[in-house]
Structure 1
Amino acid sequence: MPAKVTGAEGTAASATTSVPEPRRSVLSTGTLYRGREGMWSWVLHRITGVAIYFFLLVHILDTALIRVSPEAYNAVMESYKNPVMGIGELFLVGAVGFHALNGLRIILVDFWKVGTRHHRTMFWGVLGVWAVLMIGFTPRHLMNVFGG
């Protein structure tokens, strides 16, 4: 049993050497995520997935109108022919494109031996391919939307 030492206030303290507390790294405090490629990939994949889900829900509902009332279906389809919906279609195509390309990246990370080592490079590759595809699609789509 270690010897007891009495301090200036008369309290007993252990005479054994004290072990210093381990240093806390910057990453051990606060949130784990610091805005790197993996986090942004995860966030964008979830956002695009939810957006696509809601589009599909609306699409199924408005398509089901044809069984109820063809006139109502035609009215809804006619209301979609405006520039706001055209911009929405652009965002939808962008969401589907990113979600699909990022899904392929996730498959590579999961099933390729060195996928985890290259996930950052693949994320930037996904963004590059997505940007090239969107640059090709956007002008042609907007010409159709705005009648150019």
Structure 2
Amino acid sequence: MWSWVLHRITGVLTFFFLFVHVLDTALVRVSPNTYDAIIETYKNPIVNLMEVGLVGAVLYHALNGIRVILVDFWSKGAKYQHVMLWSLIGVWVLVMIPGTYFMLERTVSDLFGGGN
């Protein structure tokens, strides 16, 4: 049940990100200076953490979507759904650990080590 709830939450979060992304990208046609100003506000550690969360949400949503498809369309899907859930969690962790490191590397460097 929690995988279902998390799948819905990550889907909604991804939708809202895409909505905001389309809106701020559309600004480039209306006012390039405003677009540049908004993009500049995204360059801070809080937004960087939100980007890590977005990647985690999209990755979970994609992996769980594959699991849902397998449960629905594979004759043995229901039998192995629990194993597939733990497998997707394992893959998610294996991808997110290095992904988070590389996404936060510059932010941590800027905060504690003096960036470029």
Tell me the TM-score normalized by structure 1. 0.72
Pick from 63, 85, 104 the counterpart of residue 142 of structure 1.
104
Find the aligned partners of 2:42 and 2:108 in 1 and give their Cα distance: 14
Find the aligned partners of 1:80 and 1:147 in 2 and give their Cα distance: 17
Q: CA deviation at 1:136?
A: 1.4
1:117 correspondence with 2:79: yes
**What residue number does 2:27 align with?**
65
Determine which structure has more spread, i.e. the larger CA radius of gyration.
1
**What residue number does 2:4 align with?**
42
Find the aligned partners of 1:73 and 1:146 in 2 and give their Cα distance: 26
Q: CA deviation at 1:41?
A: 1.1
**What residue number does 1:100 align with?**
62
**What residue number does 2:113 align with?**
none
Identity value in percent: 55
SS of the equivalent of 1:42 reads helix
Q: CA deviation at 1:144?
A: 2.2
Structure 1 stretches lacking a partner, 5+ long: 1-38
Tell me the TM-score normalized by structure 2. 0.92
Say which structure is richer in strand. 1
Q: CA deviation at 1:94?
A: 0.2
Residue type matched to 2:40 in 1?
A: E
SS of the equivalent of 2:85 reads helix
SS of the equivalent of 1:109 reads helix
Find the aligned partners of 1:57 and 1:143 in 2 and give their Cα distance: 27
SS of the equivalent of 1:147 reads helix
* Deviation digits for residues 106-140 of structure 1 (CA, Å, limit 9, x no counterpart): 11101110100111111111101000000111111
Q: CA deviation at 1:147?
A: 3.2
Larger relative CO (CA 8 A, sep 6+): 1 or 2?
2
**What residue number does 1:84 align with?**
46
Q: CA deviation at 1:40?
A: 1.0
Residue type matched to 1:90 in 2?
A: V
Query: Post-superposition, which runs of at least 4 consecutive aligned residues in structure 1 deviate over 6 A?
Result: none
